Amino acid sequence: MAKRPTRPNRKKRRRRFREQAKCRFCRAKTGEVDYKDIPTLTKMTTQQGKIYSRKRSGNCARHQRSTMRAIKRARFLALMPYVA
Q: Which residues form the interface with Zn ion (CB under 5 A)?
A: 23, 25-26, 60, 63
Rounded to a whole number of angstroms, the minimum distance from the CB of residue 76 to Zn ion is 24
The smaller minimum CB distance to Zn ion, of residues 25 and 35, is found at 25
d(CA 5, CA 73) in angstroms, rounded, equals 54
Rounded to a whole number of angstroms, the minimum distance from the CB of residue 54 to Zn ion is 10
Cβ neighbours around 64 below 10 Å, total:
21
Whether 60 contacts 23, CB under 8 Å: yes
The smaller minimum CB distance to Zn ion, of residues 54 and 73, is found at 54
